[in-house]
Amino acid sequence: MVAISGQRPSGKFVNHKALKEGWTYISTSDGMVIGVKVSVTKVVKLQSPDGAPMLNPDGTPAYYIMSTNVLRTLTREEWEEVKREELPE
């Protein structure tokens, strides 16, 4: 599917719930750690102009999501604590 910039795709909003969420942590050259998590806010099942479901090239239904990024900035000391609490070995 090709989206036209500035236009919302046509479709039907569908209910959703997060089954698993997680953080991605990146290290910056200034010694900080940034955590990023995507939070999906809305899900749209795409439809063609005649109302039929749009399909991906592999035949599965096509969806459009609206999301926001959640950020957290950590010092190296805070990162060490997160690793101990959230990332057990």
Provide the domain limits for residue 59: 11-86
Task: Write the pLDDT tens digit of every residue in 13-45.
Answer: 999 999 999 999 999 999 899 999 999 999 999
Residue 86 φ then ψ, to 5°: -100, -20
Give me the pLDDT at residue 86, please: 77
Task: Write the pLDDT tens digit of every residue in 38-52.
Answer: 999 999 999 988 889
Total domain count, the chain? 1
Residue 8 per-residue DSSP state: P
% of the chain residues with pLDDT over 70: 87
Task: Write the pLDDT tens digit of every residue in 55-66.
Answer: 999 999 999 999
5 falls within a domain? no
32 falls within a domain? yes
Give me the pLDDT at residue 6, please: 56
18 falls within a domain? yes
Distance CA 65, CA 45 (A): 9
Q: What are the structure tokens assigned to 29, written together?
A: 């050259």
